[in-house]
Amino acid sequence: MFSTIGRLRNIGLDDILMLSRSLHLIRLTRFQFTPQTSVSSVRSLCLSHNPPNPTSAVASDPDAPIEIDSNPYKKEERKCLLCRTGIQLDYKNARLLQQFVSTFSGRVYDRHITGLCDHQQAKLVETIALSRKAGYMPIFVKDPKYTRDPKLFDPLKPVRPHSFA
């Protein structure tokens, strides 16, 4: 948008007139001529378009501020993985829950690594505890059959830096 405004400021009067003529020619080529077509209908087609006022483009102040509807510096609203995809945690879904457990220690990854919101992280810890009590997940280690699953996040590259590090 900004690049086209910059280009429009450098257009002269001759360029504007040439653009309006080319628009008339484009309209004429798109017009379907039939034996009943009269000269007056073609003239009305050409006259229906008012050529742009060349003084309005030249007379505008190039230093005037440009009105923008939204804030261009506004950051996108970040949502956690579970909120964004709408996945509901279930204690019977051990394969999903194992993604949030460390392969080496069997502990649940912290929120700064998983990138989950406070609500989903608390829900995840409760669901993993329930799944372990029900016998769907091992308690101390990660189940070896789930080690080759695709990673939802990289534990070596946390989403946010840790507050104690």
Provide the pLDDT for residue 130.
97
- 85 and 42, same structural domain? no
Tokens standing for residue 24: 């008339």
**Residue 42 belongs to a domain:** yes
**Residue 67 belongs to a domain:** no
- 86 and 132, same structural domain? yes
**Residue 162 belongs to a domain:** no
Helix (H) or strand (E) holding 56: helix 54-59
CATH of the domain at 101: 4.10.640.10
**Residue 38 belongs to a domain:** yes
Q: What is the SS3 assignment for 101?
A: strand
- 55 and 97, same structural domain? no
Q: Within a 13 Å sphere around the CA of 152, how many CA atoms are in the beta-carbon half? A: 20
Q: Which domain holds residue 35?
A: 2-59
* CA separation for the pair 56, 60 (Å, rounded): 6
Count of domains observed in the chain? 2
Residue where a domain terminates, one of 59, 89, 108:
59
Residues in contact with 51: Cβ distance below 8 Å, sequence separation at least 6, in sequence order: 17, 20
- 50 and 92, same structural domain? no
Task: Taking the CA atoms of 164, 103, 153 and 121 in sequence, report the sign of the dihedral they define.
Answer: negative
pLDDT in tens, 82-123: 999 999 999 999 999 999 998 888 899 999 888 899 999 999
- 50 and 100, same structural domain? no
Nearest alpha carbon to residue 101 among 151, 165, 135: 151
- 53 and 103, same structural domain? no
By percentage, how much of the chain surpasses pLDDT 70?
72
- 138 and 85, same structural domain? yes
pLDDT in tens, 3-15: 444 455 566 777 7
**Which of 26-35, 78-87, 122-131, 145-154 is predicted most confidently?**
122-131
**Residue 160 belongs to a domain:** no
**Residue 65 belongs to a domain:** no
- 86 and 46, same structural domain? no
pTM given for the model: 0.52
- 7 and 48, same structural domain? yes
